[in-house]
């Protein structure tokens, strides 16, 4: 019997994502001037207020207030009527130095012997149901909101949009786990006030269905376009008015959107958030590494769907173990345990090796903090950072290195594919 599966996404203007983006902007600025920075930074945003807290070990000094304000303005909170804007909000910093008790387990005389920054388990996942090896429902949820944000910034076809929004997509699958059609789409978008509520709701629904949806469909491959149909159930701003939003409507915290950040409920999640953490924290770096493994395994033909788990003890160099689940989709006679053994031989999962392989000691994290950390486009960009002293640095950095299919040949050779 066919079944339904749902995933959601939230926009860059969602309060939790505002917090994530501020935390990762701080990470990038620390790493730009001191690649060895150790940072764990949390952000809280609420009506007219930003609170920064966390632990840092770094040789650089930053104007954290300016970084927070610039991030907020970039997102689009630039008007006093939003009750939260980058130019007027308060920014309180309670950032202090990292505990020596934590740092002693990470830093070693030899970088190769760097211990894990914390204990825990991390998961990576990939599936061949989309071109970027991501679950379809989440991929569509992200795309709906990136296009909605583009419409907001263009301010031409739709002129009343505000930064906060959420999406949700429900897909019908066949018994053999193949997407059959889109069953439902939910969009809730913050908007300017209207004189008449009924006119407002009708206008927003019409614009979403007739302007946003066609733009999204046009960006999709034909086989995914075919899943859109006239029977999709649309729920557009289902509670009605959505003028009060962002940090004024709901307090935001770093790390509260871990499922949006990863696989939309597919696969599994170890529970650790990403944003605000430098790559010595395996919550982040090992989650990227396991995604890299899963994606290369699926692309190489080891399985149609793969879940990878790795686990660590704080201060210990080698992982506790690697687990693989192919969900019975491996086309040749090899157990998941045997696949895990080969994966351990191909991929060095020591923390420093992960940092080196994926180039994680670079300022690459601001781009990850909205619309998902996985399934994104690997590219090289130029970024400039400026210190309070006026010193600036311009760097070419490679984004989303964990999305590269650079181990496919090695995987094929190891599995005789």
Q: What CATH architecture applies to the domain 3-10+136-246?
A: 2-Layer Sandwich (3.30)
Alpha-carbon torsion angle 342, 132, 377, 112, nearest 10: -10
203 labeled binding residue: no
165 labeled binding residue: yes
98 labeled binding residue: yes
Helix (H) or strand (E) holding 148: helix 136-154
Q: Where are the domains of the chain?
A: 3-10+136-246, 16-99, 120-127+255-414
pTM of the model: 0.96
Partners of 4 in beta bridges = 172
257 labeled binding residue: yes
412 labeled binding residue: no
Task: Using the CB atoms, write b or e for 345-377: b if 16+ within 10 Å.
Answer: eebebbbbbbbebbebbbbbbbbbbbbbbbbbe
Per-residue tens of pLDDT for the chain, all 417 residues: 799 999 999 999 999 999 999 999 999 999 999 999 999 999 999 999 999 999 999 999 999 999 999 999 999 999 999 999 999 999 999 998 876 555 555 655 566 678 787 889 999 999 999 999 999 999 999 999 999 999 999 999 999 999 999 999 999 999 999 999 999 999 999 999 998 888 899 999 999 999 999 999 999 999 999 999 999 999 999 988 999 999 999 999 999 999 999 999 999 999 999 999 999 999 999 999 999 999 999 999 999 999 999 999 998 999 999 999 999 999 999 999 999 999 999 999 999 999 999 999 999 999 999 999 999 999 999 999 999 999 999 999 999 999 999 999 999 999 999
Whether residue 182 contacts residue 227, with contact meaning beta carbons closer than 8 Å, is answered with yes
> What is the reported pLDDT for 160?
97
> What is the reported pLDDT for 105?
54
Alpha-carbon torsion angle 34, 368, 64, 395, nearest 10: 40
415 labeled binding residue: no
292 labeled binding residue: no
74 labeled binding residue: no
DSSP track, 259-293: HHHTTTTSS---S---TTB-TTSHHHHHHHHHHHH
Residue 282 corresponds to which tokens in the numbers above?
């395996």
42 labeled binding residue: yes
> What is the reported pLDDT for 374?
98
Fold of 16-99: GMP Synthetase; Chain A, domain 3 (3.30.300)
Residue 278 corresponds to which tokens in the numbers above?
């430098």
DSSP track, 30-59: HHHH-TT-EEEEEEEEETTEEEEEEEEE-S
> What gap in Å lies between CA 116 and CA 110, rounded to an integer?
14
14 labeled binding residue: yes
Residue 131 corresponds to which tokens in the numbers above?
């071109």
99 labeled binding residue: no
Q: Nearest to residue 318, comparing CAs of 274, 286, 271?
A: 286
35 labeled binding residue: no
Helix (H) or strand (E) holding 354: helix 351-358
Q: Is 3-10+136-246's fold the same as 120-127+255-414's?
A: yes
11 labeled binding residue: no
> What is the reported pLDDT for 75?
98
> What is the reported pLDDT for 117?
78
180 labeled binding residue: no
> What is the reported pLDDT for 97?
82
Given the candidates 1.10.10.10, 3.30.300.10, 3.30.70.20, 1.10.230.10, the CATH classification of the domain at 120-127+255-414 is 3.30.300.10
């Amino acid at each position: 019997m066919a079944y339904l599966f749902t995933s959601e996404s939230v926009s860059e203007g969602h309060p939790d994502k505002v917090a994530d983006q501020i935390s990762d902007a701080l990470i990038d600025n620390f790493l730009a001037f001191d690649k060895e920075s150790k940072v764990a930074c949390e952000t809280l945003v609420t009506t007219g207020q930003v609170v920064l807290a966390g632990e840092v070990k770094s040789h650089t000094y930053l104007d954290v207030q300016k970084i927070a304000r610039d991030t907020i303005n970039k997102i689009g909170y630039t008007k006093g009527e939003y009750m939260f804007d980058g130019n007027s909000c308060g920014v309180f910093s309670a950032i202090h130095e990292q505990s020596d008790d934590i740092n002693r387990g990470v830093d070693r005389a030899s970088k190769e012997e760097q211990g894990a920054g914390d204990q825990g388990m991390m998961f990576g996942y990939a599936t061949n149901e989309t071109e970027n090896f991501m679950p379809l429902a989440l991929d569509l949820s992200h795309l709906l909101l990136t296009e909605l944000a583009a419409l907001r910034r263009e301010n031409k076809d739709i002129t009343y949009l505000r930064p906060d929004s959420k999406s949700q997509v429900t897909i019908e699958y066949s018994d053999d786990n193949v997407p059959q059609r889109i069953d439902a789409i939910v969009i809730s978008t913050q908007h300017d006030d209207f004189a008449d509520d009924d006119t407002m709701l009708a206008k927003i629904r019409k614009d979403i269905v007739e302007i946003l949806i066609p733009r999204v469909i046009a960006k999709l491959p034909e086989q995914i376009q075919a899943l859109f149909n006239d029977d999709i159930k649309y729920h557009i701003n289902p509670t009605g008015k959505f003028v009060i939003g962002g940090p004024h409507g709901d307090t935001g915290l770093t790390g509260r959107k871990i499922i949006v950040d990863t696989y939309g409920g597919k696969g599994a999640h170890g529970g650790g958030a990403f944003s605000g953490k430098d790559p010595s924290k395996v919550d982040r770096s090992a989650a990227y590494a396991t995604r890299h493994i899963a994606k290369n395994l699926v692309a190489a033909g080891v399985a149609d769907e793969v879940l990878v788990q790795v686990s660590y003890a704080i201060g210990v160099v080698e992982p506790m173990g690697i687990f693989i689940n192919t969900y019975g989709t491996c086309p040749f006679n090899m157990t998941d345990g045997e696949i895990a053994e080969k994966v351990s031989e191909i991929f060095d999962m020591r923390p420093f090796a992960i940092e080196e392989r994926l180039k994680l000691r670079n300022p690459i994290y601001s781009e990850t903090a909205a619309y998902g950390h996985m399934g994104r486009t690997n590219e090289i960009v130029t970024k400039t950072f400026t210190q309070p002293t006026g010193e600036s640095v311009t760097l070419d950095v490679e984004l989303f290195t964990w999305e590269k299919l650079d181990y496919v040949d090695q995987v094929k050779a190891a599995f005789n594919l």
